[in-house]
Each structure stands twice: as C-alpha cells, then as structure tokens.
Structure 1
Amino acid sequence: MSELTIHVPGPVTIQRIRKDINTLTKDELDLLITAWDYIQHQAPDKEDNPNTKSFFTIAGFHGEPFRGAGYSNPSWWGGYCNHGNVLFPTWHRAYLLSLENALRQAPGCENITMPYWNEIFFGPGDLPIIPTGPDIPRLPDFPTPIPQIFLQKKYTYKDGHTIDNPLYSYGFQKSIRDRLSPIPDADYSKPKGYQTVRYPFSGLVGDGDADATGAHNNLMNMLGEPKTTELLQLNVTNWLISEVENDKGKIVGGGTRENYIRSLFAPDYTVYSNTTSAQRYNDDNFDDSGSSGGKASLAAVPIEKPHNAIHLSVGGFEVPGITSYSFVPGANGDMGENDTASFDPIFFFHHCFIDLMFWAWQLRNKHENKLSIRDKYPGTNSVDSQGPTPGTPGGTWLTLDTPLNPFIGKKGKPVTSNDMTNIKKLGYDYDGLAKALSELPSPVQTSATAHVRIGGVSRADAKGSFFLSAWASEPDGGKRLVALEPVLSRWHVAGCANCSTHLNVTAIASIPMTLSEAREANFEVLVHTRGRKYGHSTLGGKTPNLRLGKLLAH
C-alpha cells in the first residue's frame, strides 16, 4: 500500500494558525503560491514508490487513479476518501495535514500553513448578528464568494515576477484511465496535460465525450473570461444563499451558508459527521402522525451536507428557480464528483473550511480531546454509502481506531481518528472564527414549523452526483422552492455490490411554512442529474415521495 507520513499527537514546538485566505498579507500569499507551485511541479514517480511531495500523488489518494479492488471493478470504491460514514471529518483532517507537510518541503516554506476559503463570509466579529432561529433571514449579500486568488490565471509576486497561478488550475503530469467506463457521460479518463476546470466549463474528456466537451468549452471561451468568472461566482452565490419565501411572504435563507450554521447544533459526532447517519437520526425523529404533542426540534444537518453543496456548485450544478440566472447545459467541472474533485486546488481550501467547522463543533460540544461513535448505527460500516476503501474489508464496523488509510504516523503505525481529534496536538489552530462559531446560541424551534421528508430515491439510479428539489404550489398556479438536498456521489455506484447498504437517499428538511399552511399546499419533488439539470419527476423509473410532518426532540 502506498503511504503518506503525517505528524500525529506529540510535543508541539510550533502552533501554526490557519487563517482566512482573504486576510493573508502579500508576503504570506507569496509563500503560499511558492509552496503550491513547488508541489505541482514535483514528479509523481512510480505507482509502487510515489513521490509524496507531488500534488498528483496527494490528489490521487482521494479518488482517481483508482487502486486495489476498485482499480477495474465497480463493485469496490478505488479511492481512499471516506464519504457517507463516520470517518468523513477525520479522514479529511488527516488528508489536509499530508498536503501541508508536502507544502512545507518547498524551500523557504517550512512553516507554511493552509488558509481556508471562508464560505460563510463573516469574520469572528460579525457572528453576533447571525440569528439561529427556524427562519434564518437571508444573510447580507456578498459580491464575490470565491476569493480572487482562485480565479486569476497568473500570479504576480511582490517583487514583480509572474507565474502561472497554481491555485487556478492543475495540469495533469500523468494520464489517468477510467477503467470502469464505458458508461454514458461517465468516462473520467484524463490525458497528460489536462487542466482542471470549474463551472461553467466541462472536464469530460474521455473518448466518448471529448468532441462534445471541446465544442462546449469553445462556446464558453467565446463568452470571455470575465463572463465565465461571473457565471461561476453567481452559481456559487445561488447555492450559498438560495432564497425561499416563508408563509408570511418574507424572503429567508435556505441555502448552504445557513446549513453550515445549523450543522453546529447536531446532537453528537455520529450524526454530525455524515449524511448516512443524519438521515437515520432525522427519520427516527420525524413525526407525520398529525398529533400536536411532543417537543419540537430542527432537523439535524450533518457537516457533509453543506460540504456536498459546495462541490456541486463549483462542479456544475445550478440551483433552480433563481430568476437572475440561466442554466448552462454541459457544465461538468472536476469538483462535482468524488472521482476527480481533489485535483482542483480549491478542493483543499474548501476542506480546510470544513475542518474549521468540525473544530467549531468540537469546541461547542466539549469534544476537543475525545469523540464517540454510536455502536452499529447507519454510517458506521464500510459498506455504507460509497463502499469500502482499499485495504478495508467489506462489512467492517468503523471505529475511532479504524486505520485512516493511507496515512502512516511517525512510528510506522496507521493513523486513526483518535490521532486526529485534537488539532492543537497536531500543531495547528484556527483564527478566531472557529471559537466564535462555537459560541452561537442554540436555535429555538416551534411545533408549527413544517418539515418535509423526501424518499424513494437511490444513488444507484444516478450516474454521478445529483440533487433533489422540493416545490410548493402557489395560489396563482406558480411554484416556490422550499428545500434542496445535494448528493455528492461517484459515477459507478450502480455496479457496486459492496456499497449497496444505505444507497437510498432520505432527505428531511425544515421548510418556510407552518404545518397548517403546508397541509393545504401541493408539493412536487424533482431530481436534478447531469443529463437533466432542469429536473425530472422520476429517477430510474421511480417517483420520489414526499411526506409532511415535524421533528421531535430526541
């Protein structure tokens, strides 16, 4: 097994601070660019002896190029990343550390620290203005959600010299072959020299897709760089602040930024850590009996849910019902599927923010030194969701001592979630944002607030990522968007005999309506896939179902 060595808990001589990338000084930004440029020019070397300073090597441990049983067999997942299970936060924490260690190998960059992409766009001093009730008002607009450093093709140093910006895109130093294809619209092979792309461009360049992708990207290039950048910024904005109208006609927040805030109130680590466990928790507490009794609660939001939404927004899925925006058919960025997401440099800055949110949840719940996992709960087995990673047998119960492959500590022992619990022992901390987030007041929920439960959808019926949208009828015959559920997936789920457990997607979300109003409305659920971005009423010949109810406090 290929290995990456990372630091595990021990004596810490330097406490590095991860900052908002928008707050870096020019000198700090120069060092960051130097380090990233360094790892992107390190040769990957051979598969059996990879260069762990190479960005290609590090990026490749997440998904493609696949290895192990998943190399050419869709019954297994060929990447090391964990999604849809309780190892999601801790595995990605270890992954970020391995990248930081590589960055520090660049000459003069020994103390470099990864900054984060601030996806809520508030600093520590701004947080007291954020209400956390059931109807979170739409937060103030922001002009450019993606920092400019990720959008410029060139970078000019303080001394005046210019290089290709390593945070804009990555050029593959080796080709990768999707040996699980052919599946229509699902060949994720990449030739040597391929440059990663984001919305509104397409990165499908396999044999069956290259011509269509070339025509699509030529059309996007004709729009000009300012326009395509504007489209990307607007798409991410729409996902972050996707607005819905409540029963009083007031526009309230219903987007990803609000879900980040709500994830802080998840009741325990198992539910917080992943979508599979949270779906079960919400399902167990969903009450559609029509009774007026019981203490009400809000649906638990796992950190993986807003995480998925950002992947889809950068990777090419549009929020429906936004009147200021038109769909771009054919957009298919690399961030949109687990297979290739980690080759886009912005992936690591996104996950740095996910790790900040994880630490904020730990601080809030006094779990800085110890986590706990519900025994044999959905989301705690290797066959849940994506399926087993290389080196992990099918049917393995996941614990805090499960090896986080391929990461190896200083003493040659596999790194575990217990090793990844306290970030201060790992030698880093975050600026004041994590602590400020941890101190937000708990939300107050009333029994009158409606929740929808959407079911009858299987990831096995979709090729790649998708999302669900729920719509309520209006008296004038129109519709209004009331709920979104992003599902970050991979292309070859249908043939995965070892990830058949918990492939059904169950979405439970609060909606901006009272129960009495909701019971008078008609609802429609649409499934938005790569091939049908406007949405379709069925998936795999099955129609999603929707039930109304409330969430009871556990």
Structure 2
Amino acid sequence: MAQRITRKDIRKLSEAELNQLVLAFYRLQSMDPDHEDSYFQIAGYHGEPFRGAGYSNPSWWGGYCNHGNILFPTWHRAYLYRLERALQKQVPGVALPYWDEIDKYATEGGGIPEVLLAPSWTFNDGTTVVIDGKETSTIPNPLHHYTFQKKITDRLRPFPDADYSKPAGVETVRFPFSGLYGAEDIATTEAHNDKYEALGIDKTNEMLVKNVQTWLNEATYQPAPARLGQHDPPAPLPAGVKDRYLRCLEAPNYVVFSNTTSAERWNDDLPPHSEVVVPVESPHNMIHLAVGGIQIPSQNASTVQGANGDMGENDTSSFDPIFYFHHCFIDRMFWAWQVYHNQTDDLKIDPEFAQYPGTNSVDSQGPTPGVPGNQWLSLDSPLSPFVRSDGQTPVTSRDVINIANLGYEYDSIPELPLRHAPPKPQALLTVSGANRATISGSFYVAAWLPDPHKPGLEYPIGIEAVLSRWHVAGCANCNNHLEVTAHFPLPQGWTNDEVERRGVRLRVHTRERPKGLESVSGRKLKFEVKNV
C-alpha cells in the first residue's frame, strides 16, 4: 500500500505545502473541462450540470449528491477521495486540508483562512505557469474562486427556471456578491456586484467573515428565569454552529448522526430524559448558508439584500473551492464520531432503524442518478458515480468506512465535549409549518426571544438551516417531503403558555427576506413545547 497521507488544518500547512496545494488545484481548473479528472467534471458531480436521470426526468434530483439520508457522510467522503486522487495526479503526495470551523481563529480571529480569501497567489519557490502565452509566478488563486470554462444550463421541470444557469467566463462568488445569471437576473446581478466590488476586496472579505462568525457565535442566548420569582438566571443555552458541531459527536447511533431527516424523526419521538440529537448535516448546512450569503439578523452585521453566493445552493456549491475544505472538516467530524463510538471498521445500522426516515432514496431530496426511486438505502447502496479500481463496480459505503483503507489520516480530531450524565431534563420547542415548495433556494427556520429590557432586541433560541435547491418544484419526488420541522432546547419547565408569555417569534429567513417571515404561503408557523 502506498504511504498514508495526512490531512491537516489548512492554516497549519507550510509554505511548500500550500504551494503544492495551489498548484494542484490550478492544474485541475486549467484542464480541458471534458476531461474526467478536470475540476469542471468533478465539481459537477454534486449538482449541475445535471446528468443521468436528473438531466430531464422531473422525478429525480439533479445531481449525484446525497443529502437528508444516511449516505450523506459516506457519499461526500467518496467525493473528496475522488478529488484528492485527481489532485495527486497533478502533484504527487498532495493532501486535502480542512478548514477548522470551530477553532478560536474561526470563532474569534480571522474567521476564514487567509489563503481562501486572497484573489491571487504568488509562488515564492520558483514555480511558474504559462497564462496567455506568458510565464508567470502570480496566478488567480484557485482556492478563492473558479472561472466556469463552459456554460451550465439550469434545467428544472416542470417549471423551468434559469436562475442558476452560468455563462462561461463567470467566477464563483460568496457573500456579499450574487451568482444569479438567469436571463432575467443578469442586469440585477451585475449592478449588485459592481456596487460591492467598488468597496474593495478587504471590505467584502470583512463582510463575509462577519457573516460566518455571526453564524458561529451569535446564536447563544441567556434565558430569563423559567418562573416568576426565580432569581438565579439559568445558564446560557448555546444554539450556534460551533455548539452543534460538538453536540453531533454525541449522537447515539449512525442513522441519526448522519442526516437531518433521521434526526428530525428521532427528535419528534424524543424519549424522556433525553437531549435533542444534532446530526452532522445540520451545522454543515449552516456553513453553506453562511458562506453563500444567507444572514442572521444581528446587531454586529449589516443586512445585504440580493446576496446569492454559490455555496448557498446545492446546484453550484461544489464549484466554489471552499466547498472541499468545508467538507474535509465534515469528514473529520465524521471520523471523530466513528472513533468515539468504536465504529471505525463498521458502521452499525440496527434493524429498528433500517427503514427509518432518511433510509429511502426518495426521502428529502428524491433519488439521484443511478439509484431507483423508492429504494431502501443501506451500507451496500451504490455511491454513484464512483467506482472501484476495476472501473465498473460501484463504490459503496462499506468501501469508505475506514479512512486508513483509503490511504489517509487526520492530524487530529476534536475533543469529545464533556456532558452531564444522565442528561438534564429540558423542554423541547418544536417548530413546524415551513413548507419549502414556494421558497427559492436555501433558508433557515429560527425562534427568537425578545429582550424584555431592550425593546427591539431579540436573541435566537435556535436556528435550523435547510440547504435546498433553488426550485424544489422541479423535482417531483421532493414534493412528497416539503415540510420542515425544527427542534430547539428550552430551559426546564417552559410550556406553551411560557413561550406565548415571553413573546417568542417564529420566522423563516430567506434570501429575499433576510429579516424573516412569520408565515409561508399564507400559513403561519406553529410550535409545541414538551418537557422531556
């Protein structure tokens, strides 16, 4: 077996390692887009350009990616491995690093590693490339953006919508910019982007970092006493991305750890004296939305109307290079969960969960190309389009369980957070009524607690992000799974009446309405509180 490589924190790479990484990405992005190893081809596996059944069949999800089901961690592990092997053909020995999204640099410092924010890169080791017939050591940074080499046409049926079409020559963008290039969007997008480009790269990077850090940090609130006359304030309840990453490590089994659909059912049926389960897909979704430009109303960040970054949508997120460093961190969290739960050689799916929500090909997103509709998913389901070394046999989840068998390891894994055992009793706020049929793209559901001493100031009790398709109505099977339910912990003793008395507000926050809507398609969001 070849020597095992180590995936490291991207901020801790040496200059030589960064040069190798940048060069490998640059070469992939410069390849003929029709080559099987090109960045265009590999990035396109996730969503657009739609291929297979998803190209023209309205029953199918558009890309190969799996979300909202038990294949979410394993499919994306196979995906990263496919990209890493292509990078290694260009620069032998290069390893995909991860963006540590919960260290102090992310939450309190620069937020996003500098190498991912710089629009250009200069090799200081003598490396040069040829651009437009001229040899140069300074190149457009391939970790910052990708320039589409071919046109992509957004094909959504039975309601065609070209918002996520991409003409050749445009670059991927992040908050606060817009990446909408449908026929009716071009003029608006160009005017929007001109406005923010005029601010300069330092200012727009600052805005991006603030948005990401708001998602990481802001969703923590200090609840008022649970009962009148109670003087000792309860402990703060963290509700942000960092806390969710750490809490996902405590998910009791692989099925509910792996995806939001299964975790949603688990939380609906939460047994007494249990804590809300957080699946790894939940904070994953939040970072997609944060980089893509969906905002949490905050005292510390301004609201930008019309921000539509590529990371915020399934169809185009994988073309933004930051996608792979984000997902490498997700894979690291997946491996940490495996280590802590003694499942590094086998993932256990108990019979009681074999037909749980999130184990069928039509759950959440609808089937992907290569997978029949209404098919039960298991560790033996094909992870299309990936195949084994024979070039024919589909890769399955069993093939990617132990990362040592794939030839890599991580430099470290996050420490398992200490929790009280047994869990403290708590109340659970369940929010329902958010129907994604009429919502364009990704969004989030939130519950807000007004500050009784500062009129107009609210704190988020909880946030649940939904990484969706721009027009879900284009996938017929998706229309069977349109309702979104969110679960947020509350202090022990809270009831429906207590929530009403405190004036808790429920909202759906979209790109068009970042400050939120209290009803969707004329239906007001509903809530229910139960003590567990």
TM-score computed with the length of structure 2 as normaliser: 0.91
In the other structure, the counterpart of 2:277 is 300
In structure 2, the partner of 1:119 is 101
Distance of 1:444 and 1:216 partners within structure 2:
51
Give the alignment of 1:438-457 within 5 angstroms: 439-444=416-421, 447-457=424-434
* 1:263-320 deviation digits (Å, cap 9, x = unpaired): 000010000000000000000116xxxxxxx4x2210000000000000000010112
| Contact kept in structure 1, 2:155 and 2:162, CA below 8 Å | no
- Pairing of 1:75-474 with structure 2 (within 5 A): 75-106=59-90, 109-121=91-103, 141-159=107-125, 161-180=137-156, 187-242=163-218, 243-247=220-224, 248=233, 253-285=238-270, 294=272, 296-320=273-297, 322-373=298-349, 374-411=353-390, 412-432=392-412, 434=413, 436-437=414-415, 439-444=416-421, 447-474=424-451
Does the 8 Å contact 1:149/1:168 carry over to 2? Answer: yes
Separation in 1 of the partners of 2:240 and 2:421?
Answer: 19
> Displacement, 1:446?
5.5
Aligned equivalent of 1:39: 28
Deviation string 1:437-471 (CA, Å, 9 cap, x unpaired) is 2x443455755533210111222232211101101
More deviation in 373-382 or 505-514?
505-514
Q: In structure 1, how many angstroms separate the alpha carbons of the residues matched to 2:45 and 2:85? A: 15
Alpha-carbon distance, 1:194 to partner: 1.1
Look up the equivalent residue of 1:227 and give its one-letter code.
Answer: K
Gaps of 5+ in 2: 127-136, 225-232
Tell me if structure 2 keeps the 8 A contact 1:519–1:548: no
Q: Which residue in 1 is equivalent to 2:227?
A: none
Conservation of the 8 A alpha-carbon contact between 2:384 and 2:394:
yes
Q: Percent identity?
A: 50
Inter-partner Cα distance in structure 1 for 2:120 and 2:473: 41
Partner of 1:64: 48
1:201 counterpart SS class = coil
SS at match of 1:146: coil
Q: CA deviation at 1:419?
A: 0.5
Q: Is the 8 A contact 1:245 1:512 kept in 2?
A: no
- Match in the other structure for 1:531: 512
Measure, in 2, the Cα distance between the counterparts of 1:541 and 1:487. 20
- Distance across 2 between alignment mates of 1:513 and 1:74: 46
Residue number in structure 2 paired with 1:4: none
- 1:16 aligned onto 2:1: no
State the distance in 2 between where 1:447 and 1:343 align.
Answer: 43
Deviations 1:345-368 (A, max 9, x none): 000000000000000000000000
Which is bigger in relative contact order (C-alpha 8 A, separation at least 6)?
Answer: 1
Note if contact 1:372-1:400 (Cα within 8 Å) is conserved in structure 2: no
Closer/same/farther in 2, CA of residues 184 and 444 from structure 1, 3 Å limit: farther
Structure 1 segments, 4+ long, off by >4 Å, are: 181-186, 249-252, 443-448, 516-520
Letter in 2 for 1:239: W
CA–CA distance in 1 between the matches of 2:362 and 2:157? 22
SS of alignment partner, residue 223 of structure 1? coil
Could you tell me which amino acid in structure 2 is paired with residue 148 of structure 1? E
Which has the larger displacement, 450-459 or 88-97?
450-459
Partner deviation per Cα, 1:456-511 (whole Å, 9 max, x = no partner): 12222322111011012443454432111100000221242223343321111213
User: How many angstroms apart in 2 are the aligned matches of 1:252 and 1:509?
Assistant: 10
Amino acid paired to 1:385 = S
Report the CA distance between 1:85 and its aligned residue.
0.4
Aligned mates of 1:56, 1:235 — CA distance in 2: 28
Any conservation in 2 of the 1:185–1:209 contact (CA below 8 Å)? no
- What root-mean-square deviation, in Å, do the aligned CA atoms of Structure 1 and Structure 2 show? 2.1
Contact 1:189–1:205 (8 Å) recurs in 2: yes
- 1:191-227 superposed Cα distances (whole Å, 9 cap, x missing partner): 1111000000000011110000011001101212111
Secondary structure of 2:344's counterpart equals coil
Partner Cα separation in structure 1 for residue 249 and residue 195 of structure 2: 42
Note the alpha carbon deviations across 1:33-82, whole angstroms, 9 max, x for none: 1100110001122xxxxx22200000001000001232134432120000
How far is 1:523 from its partner?
Answer: 2.0
Alignment check: 8 A CA contact 1:384 1:500 kept = no
The answer as to whether partners of 1:44 and 1:56 remain within 8 angstroms in 2 is: yes
Assess if the C-alpha contact under 8 Å between 1:298 and 1:445 holds in 2. no
**Which letter does structure 2 place at the counterpart of 1:461?**
T
Q: Distance in 2 between matches of 1:444 and 1:21?
A: 35
Deviation at 1:96, TM superposition (A): 0.2
More deviation, 418-427/186-195: 186-195
Q: Which residue of 2 aligns with 1:487?
A: 466
**Aligned partners of 1:230, 1:473: CA distance in 2, in Å?**
28
For residue 519 of structure 1, report the CA deviation from its aligned partner: 6.9
Larger mean CA deviation between 57-66 and 114-123 belongs to 114-123
Structure 1 distance, partners of 2:278, 2:292, is 22
Shift, 1:512, TM fit: 5.7
Structure 1 residues 158 and 514: CA distance shift in structure 2, 3 A: farther
Q: Which amino acid letter does the alignment assign opposite residue 388 of structure 1?
A: P
Distance 2:221 2:290 in 1: 18
Distance verdict in 2 for CA 1:221–1:346, change over 3 Å = same
Distance of 1:95 and 1:348 partners within structure 2: 9
CA distance in 1, matches of 2:159, 2:208: 27
In the other structure, the counterpart of 2:133 is none
The one-letter amino acid paired with 2:385 is P
Question: TM-score, with normalisation over the residues of structure 1?
Answer: 0.87
1:128-171 deviation digits (Å, cap 9, x = unpaired): xxxxxxxxxxxx95121110001111112223632211101000
Match of 1:134?
Answer: none
After the TM superposition, which of the residue ranges 253-262 and 81-90 deviates more from structure 2?
A: 253-262
In 1, Cα distance between the equivalents of 2:493 and 2:463?
18
| Contact 1:383-1:500 within 8 A present in 2 as well | no
Query: What's 1:3 paired with?
Result: none
**Is contact 1:404–1:416 with CA below 8 Å preserved after alignment?**
yes
Aligned partners of 1:258, 1:39: CA distance in 2, in Å? Answer: 35
